[in-house]
Chain A
């Protein structure tokens, strides 16, 4: 079972839970399962089949975009962290 760390801005959707535990084969399935339990959360993380540009998802500190993105496989005891992106300037 994977552990998911929920960022502050998504906690209103998880009844303020900071972390939740779920089973899933890969990240895509994990987000689907999260959405079943906490409706509306998928929309906040993804746009269509892609993770929002301003959202980062890490599996044990590895950014999924540098693995197989939402199809990155999950293992037992993986820790998934969802973090909003940070940047500066005017864009």
Chain B
């Protein structure tokens, strides 16, 4: 250690210990108002509005009723579409008012005032999310949770707050912001789009069926996680190093080469959303009870988590939203300035970071973010901040992040890696070394935000926790994008996407409406976790700026926000509304009557998805007529109407799974609570529907459904080829009016910022 380093080390260690954080809830109380334009309550927006409301409550925004608003003409000058959800965020500093005008819509313009031509289900289809989630099932499959609505609401809120932030900095170029569900969804699946567009070794957005060869199975069969015990417990296994995996399966007598084949698939599941494992692995587990498997996993240091039922999650008050908002903000007591004055750091020389050629312009211009994160959640957070105009410097280990080499690669860099990191300057620092630690401290000295997603307690062991950083920069917002949030100390499991899905109830909700057990191998919690982390940063920046402005105006203000905590579990809670999860266990049979049967239909040239969540029986009948169901089914269609009242009256006594079993397996009709003649003909009707849909193209059916006001969509399946190399997928991007949101550059399809700002 050099003399300079020793001096600095001594100085840092001798500085006064800081007091504990003071948590700050509802940080915007009385500061920022939100006004949502009334009259836009169509079905397609309901889940977005629900998610916005959770954010409004968690952040303490004051909701203005239109009649009470002093800006009641807020929306009169808007030029945006009439079918968009419009809302404003506003704040007053002294006599000045600042307003961000926000608009959220689908790119599909509504032609009918009665129905939306989109909803969460068709959005998942049209944007490709259904194809990514469906990879393990071999066909496009919807997620039974409002991922796109929730992701869009978080991005929409952060654009509004970033707009206010820039206005308080005197910049009026970002007063209006628009976002569409579709553009937000593309950002969420941007890594998969990158993978589907690379110049070499591209993977279709919905790959062809995986063969047993991919799994390395000796008997030509394979399965995807999760796993199942002899006594029927569904569970996830997790490890990020090979030894626990090897030791666990060796203890179960599995051949080493089979274990190796399994590992290769298992570790790539985060990138590929599939993990074809040799069936031998499931076979040995099927002979053991969960408690025996649990014991063996513990011995091998392999993490294990059962897929918790939603009722168990609802009973677990530790993780309900009332106990845990998506964001935890905290402040520090102010400490005299000289304690931070570390002249010695001036003698530390930093390499010049390599800045990318094109950095997006946006409302966070002038904000500097330092990121020390790996994999998805943290990099997504600072990717969004970079897309909002912040300068992001990313710390990577010497030699660069190993993920730079992950296939597929274009121009020597992994396109998946580049999709989340292309806007950042890179600085290679060995953060475990003494000098590296000082380089990090030097770097944060002039930064506004530091984001890390290290394992719990690693920050303290590196000497890079918030105390260390606040000694060199007391204004720094220290951000931790973790796994379990407040539960870090109580949940002894690695905080990874699939473990949190299993623990939080997300996996159970997904499996309730899926042909397979467990959650999704689409890394939805990492992605939403990144978005809420970015939202936490923007909130803290705005709050601190409001404080500054009020202080300049002569007001007494609270201490600034200096820490933000978010986690994967927080994103799960935002996604599934745990408080109401019990109600989601018994969905209306009315709503699900078509869900299992017609979620996606195969047309002549691809798949289409039909709105199955907002269906009513009137629309159902129109649907059948639209596709030309024959007169021989007239009595069946009549019975659909008649059965509607029967189903409504007996809703409580009919279990959804029972109904799905019946519709999918007509031989079980004998045990059916409905009239068997109805179900028998219903099954035959399904067969005819499938046959009729196959006879025409997707475009033919979509025109017909849209004219009737039925939400329906293409499902992209293939590669995202650049213009001139038309594929079904690029065609669907054009149909969605999203061509300006995808740019072919550096050898792959780059997803552009979801927002559009103007003055």
A residues sitting closer than 8 Å to B (CB atoms) are 7-11, 44, 53-55, 62-63, 65-67, 83-91
Q: A9–B405 Cα gap in the complex (Å)?
A: 6
Contact B412 A11 (CB under 8 A): yes
Q: A65-B263, A66-B263 are in contact. List 18 more A-B contacts (CB 8 A).
A: A9-B402, A53-B241, A55-B402, A62-B260, A63-B242, A63-B260, A66-B256, A85-B267, A85-B402, A87-B375, A89-B240, A89-B376, A90-B378, A90-B455, A90-B482, A90-B567, A91-B494, A91-B496
B242-258 contacts to A (CB < 8 Å): 242, 246, 256-257
Contact A88 B376 (CB under 8 A): yes
Minimum Cβ distance to chain A for residue B408 (Å)? 11
Bin chain B's interface residue count: 35 or more
Which residue of A is nearest B396, CB measured? A9
B454 neighbours in A (Cβ, 8 Å): 90
- State whether A62 and B405 are in contact (beta carbons under 8 Å apart), knowing that A85-B267, A90-B483 are contacts in the complex: no
Contact A88 B375 (CB under 8 A): yes
A85 neighbours in B (Cβ, 8 Å): 240, 267, 402
| Interface check B568, CB cutoff 8 A | yes
Minimum Cβ distance to chain A for residue B232 (Å)? 27
Q: A54–B246 Cα gap in the complex (Å)?
A: 16
- State whether A88 and B405 are in contact (beta carbons under 8 Å apart), knowing that A9-B399, A9-B400 are contacts in the complex: no
| Interface check B559, CB cutoff 8 A | no
A86 neighbours in B (Cβ, 8 Å): 267-268, 270-271, 403, 406
B412 neighbours in A (Cβ, 8 Å): 8, 11
B567 neighbours in A (Cβ, 8 Å): 90
Q: A83–B271 Cα gap in the complex (Å)?
A: 14
Q: A21–B246 Cα gap in the complex (Å)?
A: 30
A83 neighbours in B (Cβ, 8 Å): 405-406
Q: A55–B402 Cα gap in the complex (Å)?
A: 8
Q: A13–B651 Cα gap in the complex (Å)?
A: 67
Cβ proximity bits B490-505 to A, threshold 8 Å, 1 near / 0 not? 0000111101100000
Cβ proximity bits B454-496 to A, threshold 8 Å, 1 near / 0 not? 1100000000000000000000000001110000000000111
B404 neighbours in A (Cβ, 8 Å): 8-9, 84
Minimum Cβ distance to chain A for residue B521 (Å)? 10
B267 neighbours in A (Cβ, 8 Å): 85-87
- State whether A7 and B405 are in contact (beta carbons under 8 Å apart), knowing that A89-B526, A89-B568, A90-B482 are contacts in the complex: yes
Minimum Cβ distance to chain B for residue A17 (Å)? 12
| Interface check B453, CB cutoff 8 A | yes
Cβ proximity bits B397-441 to A, threshold 8 Å, 1 near / 0 not? 001101111100100111000000000000000000000000000
B494 neighbours in A (Cβ, 8 Å): 89-91
A65 neighbours in B (Cβ, 8 Å): 242, 246, 260, 263
- State whether A8 and B375 are in contact (beta carbons under 8 Å apart), knowing that A66-B263, A87-B496, A89-B483 are contacts in the complex: no
- State whether A84 and B406 are in contact (beta carbons under 8 Å apart), knowing that A91-B455, A91-B495 are contacts in the complex: yes
Contact A89 B497 (CB under 8 A): yes
Minimum Cβ distance to chain B for residue A46 (Å)? 13
Most buried by B among A55, A65, A85, A87: A87
- State whether A8 and B413 are in contact (beta carbons under 8 Å apart), knowing that A62-B260, A66-B263, A89-B496 are contacts in the complex: yes
Minimum Cβ distance to chain B for residue A78 (Å)? 16
Contact A67 B240 (CB under 8 A): no
Most buried by B among A44, A86, A90: A90
Contact B257 A62 (CB under 8 A): yes
Which residue of B is nearest A64, CB measured? B260
A63 neighbours in B (Cβ, 8 Å): 242, 260, 263-264
Contact B497 A8 (CB under 8 A): no
Minimum Cβ distance to chain B for residue A85 (Å)? 6
Minimum Cβ distance to chain B for residue A64 (Å)? 9
Contact A66 B406 (CB under 8 A): no
What are the 8 tightest A-B residue pairs by CB atom distance, in nearest-first order? A66-B260, A89-B496, A84-B402, A88-B270, A7-B405, A90-B483, A63-B260, A90-B495
Most buried by A among B377, B399, B400: B399
Q: A44–B377 Cα gap in the complex (Å)?
A: 26
Contact B402 A66 (CB under 8 A): no
Contact A90 B453 (CB under 8 A): yes
Contact A88 B257 (CB under 8 A): no
Contacts A/B (CB < 8 Å), 18 sampled: A62-B260, A63-B242, A63-B260, A63-B264, A85-B240, A86-B267, A86-B268, A86-B270, A87-B496, A89-B240, A89-B270, A89-B483, A89-B494, A89-B526, A90-B377, A90-B481, A90-B495, A90-B568
| Interface check B523, CB cutoff 8 A | yes
Contact A66 B257 (CB under 8 A): yes
B402 neighbours in A (Cβ, 8 Å): 9, 54-55, 84-85
Contact B409 A88 (CB under 8 A): no
Minimum Cβ distance to chain B for residue A44 (Å)? 6
B406 neighbours in A (Cβ, 8 Å): 83-84, 86
Contact B481 A88 (CB under 8 A): no
Q: A85–B376 Cα gap in the complex (Å)?
A: 14
Which residue of A is nearest B455, CB measured? A91
Q: A55–B405 Cα gap in the complex (Å)?
A: 11
| Interface check B259, CB cutoff 8 A | yes
Query: Which of B241, B242, B405, B495 sits near A84, CB closer than 8 Å?
Result: B405
Q: A1–B709 Cα gap in the complex (Å)?
A: 66
Minimum Cβ distance to chain B for residue A10 (Å)? 8
B405 neighbours in A (Cβ, 8 Å): 7-10, 83-84
Minimum Cβ distance to chain B for residue A51 (Å)? 10
Which residue of A is nearest B488, CB measured? A90
Minimum Cβ distance to chain B for residue A19 (Å)? 14
B495 neighbours in A (Cβ, 8 Å): 89-91
Most buried by A among B242, B263, B481: B242
Q: A87–B256 Cα gap in the complex (Å)?
A: 22
Minimum Cβ distance to chain A for residue B250 (Å)? 10
Cβ proximity bits B114-153 to A, threshold 8 Å, 1 near / 0 not? 0000000000000000000000000000000000000000
Q: A55–B400 Cα gap in the complex (Å)?
A: 13
B440-455 contacts to A (CB < 8 Å): 453-455
Minimum Cβ distance to chain B for residue A2 (Å)? 19
Q: A87–B499 Cα gap in the complex (Å)?
A: 13
A55 neighbours in B (Cβ, 8 Å): 402
Q: A14–B576 Cα gap in the complex (Å)?
A: 49
Contact A89 B375 (CB under 8 A): yes
B409 neighbours in A (Cβ, 8 Å): 8
Q: A67–B258 Cα gap in the complex (Å)?
A: 11
Minimum Cβ distance to chain B for residue A72 (Å)? 11
Q: A63–B262 Cα gap in the complex (Å)?
A: 10
A84 neighbours in B (Cβ, 8 Å): 402-406
- State whether A44 and B399 are in contact (beta carbons under 8 Å apart), knowing that A66-B256, A85-B267 are contacts in the complex: yes
Contact A88 B246 (CB under 8 A): no
Which residue of A is nearest B482, CB measured? A90
Which residue of A is nearest B483, CB measured? A90
B387-403 contacts to A (CB < 8 Å): 399-400, 402-403
B500 neighbours in A (Cβ, 8 Å): 89
A9 neighbours in B (Cβ, 8 Å): 399-400, 402, 404-405
Most buried by B among A11, A53, A86: A86
Most buried by B among A11, A44, A91: A91
Contact B399 A88 (CB under 8 A): no
Which residue of A is nearest B270, CB measured? A88
Minimum Cβ distance to chain B for residue A68 (Å)? 10
Q: A53–B378 Cα gap in the complex (Å)?
A: 21
Minimum Cβ distance to chain A for residue B705 (Å)? 37
Q: A7–B526 Cα gap in the complex (Å)?
A: 26
